A and B are shown apart, each in its own frame.
Chain A
């Protein structure tokens, strides 16, 4: 896609800064895996006969609330307005990405129904291979990266794919498949949609938008599309209203799942920004490993099954860990980063963006305002406090109304996994703050 010669590519940012940003991106990728994997845990507490579409819709409502309150808490909505002024076209890209996510998520529900999790999961995990493809084709990722880095990224992604397959086979005890063709199409469709969803992500971050702003627009497309699908395929407003009424005692758990998912996705966005989609997506895909840990250790899944099954779980986990390790070690060279900058320059020319704004975003710094003065420090307004207080009140109210799950949980394991998530949250949050001030 890029025609210009690579002979005179300038070093885009100093190598020490590049190395720091890369380490932050890798840390965010692993944190994304831990938090995205844990997001499924609250939904395991839901045993009512609620339609999967409604489960998905309610999680998205939790996502919506989190996605508007977290940015308000971290940076203030004023920063979001500044981002829109600089790059208004990215609102459309954010909404498009949200629509892609909602359709993919709905497809996975039908895929699991038709072919079972064991076949469906590895099929939609092709998203990381597709992400590498789009990253290379559209955004110059892995260009001038050298054979060794190509080998580690592609090899790592393939190892993770194999590991995911083993884990999915081991974690599924259900027998497939009434409609294999439909199920396979649904799973492949979900993989294609999720793999392509990273095109808008990368587009946004190459052109300077802050991940905290981007996810706010993403969620408008996500909630709008999910609500339309639930109304269309759930039997209309009356049927949807009845299902929502049925789900009232479990609203808290579903929306909590959505909230946890947002934190994971936020880290995924920063990973996509600082190490690109070709490396960021595979690292985020370690979420399957974490989901399995929650299932086995906290919810007692797979207990009392045959030894070969445990061998599959351990083998699959080791393969995934090795793949993720290989990708994490595939550093981004100055030459490759300069090719990223070429893609960013192309974007800023197309959309007539301020070059300083784009360059600052690429190197994780605060951009100057259009007058050339340093940007004002983030200031929260009354609107930000209202948003945070309103969302907190909603969650507290739902928690009070929630029915405690009647399930045997392994509390020490739950505490250990929650502590691990907090360690990732603190480590990544501090690294992001110190290195980029959440830019």
Chain B
């Protein structure tokens, strides 16, 4: 077994074993959020990190996932296990209809167009009260069962979100080391040159987009099942979802398969800590600190923790072999 495989197994066993020692529901809650945000940040990373299409509208897919599985469950009694696949397919369809034409735009203009799109989807979901109950939100009655994807203890959510995160990390790793991964990197570096090398850039970007939107949507469904209350302003939130997952990938290392999870491990506990320390007392303070943190991260760590560590490792004195 190679060193990498050993590390992977140790990591999985460690994360899987945490609930054996930690029983405090609050800590488990923080871990569930880390896994969930790390996973959707990883999904975002596939289109933004690997393919270089910097989307700021992924909240749209997250919200579509949350609303589709919830509405199918509430109105038709469809199990969320199927509902989240339905939501994923719907998100993939929407991504083709809206994001695909936006591929014509380069750089920040793609980002701005997708940002506007996310805001519009939120507006529509607030307005469409007959279906979504608007700003009142949708409440899922708590009836724990495997069929309903609801659990008495946090353990069920813990392992579902952990598997979701590990799945996305593994998928990202596979993409990174596949032909498609190299194509995507070529597109990110220089799209015209990639096209000249006979890479079907449109097809590659579309594939990355479909995977990314589908998985983000599944994350939305899981979120809805866990929180059991969804509101348009939260599920389609520009700052809460779209920006948040981008920041996590940036902190951890954009375009690396572990970066988004790393970012979530730093940012989620930090956010919870600041909220506990200041939240509720005065409005605005905790978001002000968040805003400053975002600026500092971009200025100080634009390449992310993952690359920062590997730079450090490479600076070691000569003669010391670098590990795998």
Partners in one complex: no
Q: Which residues of B approach A to under 8 Å, CB–CB?
A: none
